[in-house]
């Protein structure tokens, strides 16, 4: 039963992630007073790209062609290791630290692909994306420290039982969630860090690394882009969200939670403008700072 739930959860995330992207875009359009494109648009775009001829820039190598697969694979492995329905089969590797290392693998190949395109924008995007990573990782580790303090393990498991036994940790938990949300916005490449809708060469970050891609490679990268949001949102909710006793109601709950997240993402995106690139370290430092504050509160002040 556990296996069925896990496989069902994985396939739901795989198939619905472009829809979630569409929901965000539609929310944004409605808030701006537009009707906006169909929520299914991403499926059409990906299908169209998949059937187009695929080209690569001159001077690029096998690295460039492997990169879409190499950036998508870690996300899929992360997805497989998440206990989407709240529990995992025995001996299933599900470790938070491993997730961070897998995300680093994705970033590494994004950077390599950018440099391999031999153009200006690829290098620019690679430089910016990896720089962003240097701010994101410490903040993620700050969040991990809090989870460790609550639950005494680094496995991806719901914190809810541990929180119930220790109600005093609720406020730090809320702060930690805020910190994690801020970091995730950066990791997803959304406003106020990166604007997925812009193709203005001087400001784009993630789009710049994709600039030279088209056809099947672009379709894979777009799928990765949508999956990243859904997968990490699922991961966040599994750990931080409520946990029900039944596997199936847990799955339904995850679906609702992720949908809410995508709508919230649309709301946030229409409320904020993009930060200057050189202000992003301050933004991420603030996220990490909130995490440290939560940690401090959880440790019950400083008693040696």
Partner 1 sequence: MVIGVLLAPAVLAVFTYRKKRVALASLLVFSIGILIYGALGLWHGTATTAWDDVVQLTALRSWFLIILGLVAAMSLWYSFGYHDLRQSVIFWLPLFLLSMTAVLLAANLWVFMTGWESMTITSFFLVTTHHERADVLKSSYIYLVMSQGSAMLILAGFMVIGAHLHSYQFSEWTHYAAGLTLSTKTLVFALLGLGFGIKSGVVPFHVWLPRAHPAAPAPVSSLMSGVMIKLGIFGIIQFLLLDLGASAHFWPLLILAAGAMSSLLGVLYALMEHDLKRLLAYHSIENMGIILLGLGVMSLGIDWHHPLWVAIGLIAALFHSLNHAIFKSQLFLAAGAVEQHSGTLDIDHLGGLIRTTPAIALGFIGGAMAISALPPFNGFVSEWLTFRGLIDLIGPGTGLLSLYGLGLVMVLGLTGALAALCFVKASGIVFLGEARHAVPHQPLPGTMVWPVLTLGALTLVLGVIPQPLLHLLQPIEPTHLVSSGPMLLPIGTRVIAGLLVIIVVLLARLSRIGDVRTVPRWSCGRQPNFAMQYTSASFTKSIRTTFALIYRPHRTVERLGPAAPDFPESLVYRAGTVPVWERYFYRPLYRLIWRVSHLSTRIQNGPVRLYLAYLLGTVGIMLAILH
Identify residues 81-140 at the interface with partner 1 (CB under 8 A).
91-93, 95, 97-98, 100-102, 104-105, 107-108, 111-112, 114-124, 126-128, 130-131, 133-134, 136-138, 140
Nearer to partner 1, 53 or 273 (CB): 53
> Which residues from 233-292 bind partner 1, rule CB under 8 A?
277-278, 281, 288, 292
- Shortest spacing between CB 135 and partner 1, in angstroms: 8
Q: Which one of the spans 33-41, 62-70, 185-193, 265-273 is the region binding partner 1 (CB under 8 A)?
A: 62-70
Nearer to partner 1, 76 or 267 (CB): 76
What distance in Å separates the CA atoms of residue 172 and residue 290, rounded to the nearest whole number? 10
> Which residues from 11-50 bind partner 1, rule CB under 8 A?
none
The tokens for 163 are 């929180």
Burial 129-148 (b: 16+ CB within 10 A, else e): bbbbbebbbebbebbbbbbe
Site for partner 1 (CB under 8 A): which residue of 56, 244, 267, 275? 56
Q: What is the DSSP letter of 275?
A: P
Site for partner 1 (CB under 8 A): which residue of 31, 73, 268, 275? 73
Nearer to partner 1, 41 or 292 (CB): 292
155: β partners? 95
* Binding flags for partner 1, 182-221, as an x/- string (CB under 8 A): -------------------x---------xx--xxx-xx-
200 by Cβ neighbours in 10 Å (0-12 / 13-18 / 19+) ranks as exposed
Q: Which of 137, 174, 122 shows the shortest CA–CA distance to 298?
A: 174
Q: Which of 83, 133, 91 shows the shortest CA–CA distance to 111?
A: 133
Q: Which one of the spans 40-48, 73-81, 189-197, 232-240 is the region binding partner 1 (CB under 8 A)?
A: 73-81
Site for partner 1 (CB under 8 A): which residue of 33, 58, 165, 202? 58
- Shortest spacing between CB 213 and partner 1, in angstroms: 11
* Binding flags for partner 1, 143-172, as an x/- string (CB under 8 A): -xx--xx--x-xx-----------------
Nearer to partner 1, 89 or 242 (CB): 89
What distance in Å separates the CA atoms of residue 230 and residue 234, rounded to the nearest whole number? 6
Nearer to partner 1, 14 or 244 (CB): 14
- Shortest spacing between CB 140 and partner 1, in angstroms: 7
Q: What is the DSSP letter of 167?
A: G
Nearest-5° Cα angle at 274, 270 to 277: 165
- Shortest spacing between CB 200 and partner 1, in angstroms: 12
What distance in Å separates the CA atoms of residue 288 and residue 137, rounded to the nearest whole number? 9
95: β partners? 155
Task: For residue 301, give the 3-state DSSP assignment.
Answer: coil
Nearer to partner 1, 99 or 251 (CB): 99
- Shortest spacing between CB 79 and partner 1, in angstroms: 10
Run of H or E residues at 63:
helix 62-81
Q: How far is CA 301 from CA 120, 218, 292, 295, 298, in A?
A: 49, 50, 12, 9, 8
- Is the C-alpha dihedral spanning 188, 223, 75, 84 positive or negative? positive
Q: Which of 264, 245, 279, 211 shows the shortest CA–CA distance to 5?
A: 245
Nearer to partner 1, 26 or 110 (CB): 110
Tell me the number of residues near partner 1 by CB under 8 A: 90
């Amino acid at each position: 039963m556990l296996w069925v739930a896990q496989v069902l959860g994985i396939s739901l995330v795989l198939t619905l992630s472009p829809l979630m992207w569409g929901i965000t875009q539609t929310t944004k359009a409605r808030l701006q007073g537009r009707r906006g494109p169909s929520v299914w648009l991403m499926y059409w775009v990906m299908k169209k790209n998949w059937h187009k001829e695929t080209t690569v820039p001159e001077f690029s190598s096998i690295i460039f062609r492997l990169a879409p697969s190499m950036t998508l694979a870690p996300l899929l492995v992360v997805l497989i290791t998440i206990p989407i329905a709240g529990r995992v089969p025995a001996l299933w590797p599900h470790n938070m630290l491993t997730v961070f290392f897998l995300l680093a693998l994705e970033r590494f190949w994004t950077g390599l692909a950018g440099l391999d395109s031999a153009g200006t924008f690829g290098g620019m995007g690679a430089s910016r994306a990896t720089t962003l990573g240097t701010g994101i990782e410490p903040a993620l580790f700050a969040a991990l420290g809090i989870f460790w303090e609550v639950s005494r393990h680094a496995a991806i498991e719901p914190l809810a039982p541990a929180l119930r036994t220790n109600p005093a940790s609720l406020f730090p938990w809320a702060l930690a969630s805020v910190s994690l949300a801020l970091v995730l916005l950066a990791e997803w490449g959304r406003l106020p860090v990166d604007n997925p809708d812009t193709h203005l060469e001087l400001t784009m970050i993630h789009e710049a690394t994709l600039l030279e891609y088209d056809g099947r490679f672009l379709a894979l990268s777009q799928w990765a882009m949508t999956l990243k949001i859904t997968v990490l949102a699922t991961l966040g909710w599994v750990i931080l969200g409520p946990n029900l006793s039944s596997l199936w109601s847990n799955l339904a709950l995850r679906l609702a939670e992720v949908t809410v997240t995508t709508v919230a993402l649309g709301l946030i995106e229409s409320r904020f403008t993009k930060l200057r690139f050189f202000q992003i370290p301050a933004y991420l430092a603030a996220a990490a700072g909130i995490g440290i504050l939560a940690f401090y509160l959880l440790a019950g002040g400083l008693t040696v």
